[in-house]
Amino acid sequence: MWERSALFILRYRVPLLIFVLLFTAFMGWQASKVQLSYEFSRAIPTDNPKYLDYQDFRKQFGEDGNLLVIGIQTKDLFNKRIFNDYSALAEKLRATDGVVGVLSVPGATNLVKDTTSEKLNAIPVFPSGKLSQSSLDSSRDVFLNLKFYQGLLYNPATSTYLMGVSINKDVLNSKKRNAVVAEIVEAGDKFGKNHSLEMHYSGLPLIRTNMATRVANEMQWFLFGSVVLSAVILLIFFRSLSATFLSLFVVVCGVLCALGTMHMFGYKITLLNA
């Protein structure tokens, strides 16, 4: 059997080499379409009770993990210059493509009872547009009396203030997430630089973006390092450049076929299989 296989390969070596090259080229084309998954990698089975409870929670309360939080620490937030720029930052982030909402001090609302209609009306605490210092001071007093926001948007003990930026879940699970998060951080850094404030960022969107970027960069270095290491080891063993390059070609063909097969079956590169 093996003798017949060897004779067949030797007799039709040219057509077989052409087939291998064409097949490798096709799989390389498929491998170029492999994408990095931006969705959560499930580490437990989908029929696990904990996973089912989590899905029920999402159905009842909506999507989670789409909030990016920006924090600052200053005693001068209610200075008209800083506050007006802080309000402009919130409006800019709200207008950013992919952002569905911004929760911040300038956007705080107060419930006022309407005795005529016997309803509660949501009234903005801070008027829109640039505020004068006197108008800002009166609105600040109203805001500080709303204890609901204490511990949520600000901490009076440490003079810290938070701004929550909610990102669209479809954007969060796509490559567009990188650009949206970068734009948010850039706008925040610009505000911090203008007022000499240290900006703090947290939240699952930022962590997932940083991790995905790190994985993509590390994959490139890993592939490059593995090729170099394989070449050195093969060269030490074979002491021949032709044998080394031929062996590397076989390795590259195997890698391309593996990645191409991954794309053909609809799989993506995740944190678990990277």
Alpha carbon distance 94, 91 (integer Å): 5
The model's pTM? 0.74
pLDDT of res. 253: 87
Average pLDDT over residues 20-49: 80
Residue 262 has pLDDT above 90, yes or no: no
Find out whether 194 and 121 touch, Cβ atoms under 8 Å.
Answer: no
Find out whether 117 and 183 touch, Cβ atoms under 8 Å.
Answer: no
- The most confident of the ranges 12-21, 155-164, 260-269 is 155-164
Token readout for 20 is 């291998």
CA angle 41, 46, 48 (to 5 degrees): 115
pLDDT of res. 63: 65
Q: At 159, is the pLDDT very low, low, confident or very high (cuts 50, 70, 90)?
A: very high
pLDDT of res. 83: 95
pLDDT of res. 33: 83
pLDDT of res. 144: 92
